[in-house]
């Protein structure tokens, strides 16, 4: 155990994990991350399968196939067999039912896969994962189609713009880094429109790190946290840094939107959050901030 770990115990925990399962390749890809977090925190997995209202037919043969696949996930090696778990099956609005389930069961993190659609297809179908990220009042771990990292987080990247949302996200990033014995990268991106000189940006990033560590009651050295300052488009630099540093998890603070704004954002191409989620080589944890 490092000196850092001896001095600090994080106060954020992920005990109740809600895994959204639609039996698509995207959700199957996300499943091991839900079970991994449960094992690290000694938690419970709630496996939720919501059938859209228009597809609901309990007598259809596909319904039995669905139950068979769910049973396979539970009993497969590395599945839920050795973990506390509960299967939730419902029908209706996927977005509304998942958020309601999360609220009723005191969920700490929602884990969901996404297709990562762009352009016309995203404009037409939208992104349920992005809607949930914006509407949920708890962190959402989204696993995009390009994720290829291991389920054991070794390096965690926190993207910060010095906002209250970024500060709110840091304890979550720190907790996961501690639970997985991972190192951290604190990234600040100066977009081209910024008038902030490089020296000032670097100093502010280090000051932000020291302040947030102090606020969390951490007394040891920040030896396990690297600081990076990049210049360019926010989403591009996050993705590039994640690839260059072989990051296993990206954490971002997210200002919560109202219902209609979230639904509109889920259908519009070009969202920073969606660009990062759909292109990232690792999962993305969005932490909502309502202040």
Give per-residue pLDDT as tens, 69-104.
666 667 766 678 889 999 888 888 888 899 999 999
Which of 128, 143, 158 is the last residue in one of the domains? 143
Which H helix or E strand runs over 72? helix 61-75
Same domain, yes or no: 99 and 137: yes
Same domain, yes or no: 171 and 281: yes
Contacts of 148 (CB under 8 A, 6+ apart): 281
Helices (H), 117-197: 119-125, 128-135, 164-179
| Overall number of domains in the chain | 2
Same domain, yes or no: 195 and 259: yes
* Residue closest to 57 by CA, chosen among 98, 91, 88, 23: 91
Edge-to-edge strand list for the sheet holding 16-20: 85-91, 44-51, 16-20, 109-113, 140-143, 284-289, 249-255, 155-160, 183-190, 225-231
CATH of the domain at 90: 3.40.50.620
- Burial, 20: exposed, middle or buried (Cβ in 10 Å; 0-12, 13-18, 19+)? buried
Contact 127, 114 (CB under 8 A): yes
SS3 58: coil
pLDDT at 247: 95
Same domain, yes or no: 154 and 235: yes
Q: Which domain holds residue 184?
A: 3-8+150-289
pLDDT at 105: 94
Same domain, yes or no: 155 and 266: yes
* Chain centroid offset of residue 187 CA: 17
* Residue closest to 61 by CA, chosen among 50, 73, 49, 69: 69
Same domain, yes or no: 285 and 166: yes
Same domain, yes or no: 139 and 154: no
pLDDT at 214: 64
Same domain, yes or no: 40 and 165: no
pLDDT at 249: 97
pLDDT at 18: 96
SS3 123: helix
Contact 188, 161 (CB under 8 A): yes
Same domain, yes or no: 128 and 257: no
Same domain, yes or no: 188 and 280: yes
Same domain, yes or no: 112 and 133: yes
Contact 175, 287 (CB under 8 A): no
Beta-strand pair 85-91/109-113: unpaired
Same domain, yes or no: 154 and 100: no
Which H helix or E strand runs over 71? helix 61-75
Instruction: Using alpha carbons, list the distances in angstroms from residue 278 to 44, 143, 271.
Output: 27, 8, 10
Contact 235, 275 (CB under 8 A): yes
pLDDT tens digits, 249-291: 999 998 875 544 444 344 344 467 878 888 899 999 999 987 6
In the chain, which residues have pLDDT < 50?
Answer: 1-9, 59, 61, 117-126, 217-221, 259-270
Contact 36, 176 (CB under 8 A): no
pLDDT at 87: 87
Which of 114, 143, 172 is the last residue in one of the domains? 143
* Residue closest to 48 by CA, chosen among 16, 79, 20: 20
| pTM over 0.95, yes/no | no
Which of 95, 110, 143 is the last residue in one of the domains? 143
Contact 136, 257 (CB under 8 A): no
């Amino acid at each position: 155990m490092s000196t850092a770990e001896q001095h600090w115990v994080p106060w954020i925990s992920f005990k109740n994990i809600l895994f959204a399962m639609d039996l698509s390749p995207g959700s199957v890809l996300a499943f091991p991350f839900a079970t991994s977090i449960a094992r690290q925190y000694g938690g419970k997995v709630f496996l939720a399968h919501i059938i859209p209202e228009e597809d609901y037919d309990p007598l259809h043969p596909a319904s039995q196939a669905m139950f068979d696949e769910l049973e396979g996930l539970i009993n497969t090696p590395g599945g839920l067999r050795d973990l506390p778990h509960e299967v939730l099956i419902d029908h209706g609005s996927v977005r509304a039912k998942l958020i309601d389930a999360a609220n009723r069961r005191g969920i700490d993190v929602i884990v969901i896969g996404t297709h990562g659609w762009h352009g016309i297809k995203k404009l037409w179908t939208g992104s349920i994962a992005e809607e949930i990220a914006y509407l949920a009042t708890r962190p959402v771990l989204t696993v995009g189609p390009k994720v290829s990292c291991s389920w054991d987080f070794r390096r965690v990247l926190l993207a910060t713009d010095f906002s209250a949302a970024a500060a709110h996200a840091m304890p979550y990033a720190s907790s996961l880094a501690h639970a997985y014995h991972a190192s951290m990268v604190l990234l600040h991106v100066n977009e081209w429109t910024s008038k902030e000189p490089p020296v000032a940006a670097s100093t502010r990033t280090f000051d932000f790190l020291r302040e947030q560590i102090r606020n969390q009651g951490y007394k040891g050295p920040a030896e396990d946290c690297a600081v990076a300052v990049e210049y360019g488009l926010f989403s591009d630099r996050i993705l590039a840094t994640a690839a260059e540093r072989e990051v296993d998890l990206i954490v971002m603070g997210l200002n919560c939107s109202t219902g209609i704004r979230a639904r509109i954002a889920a259908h519009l191409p070009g969202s920073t959050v969606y660009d990062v989620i759909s292109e990232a080589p690792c999962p993305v944890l969005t932490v909502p901030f309502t202040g």
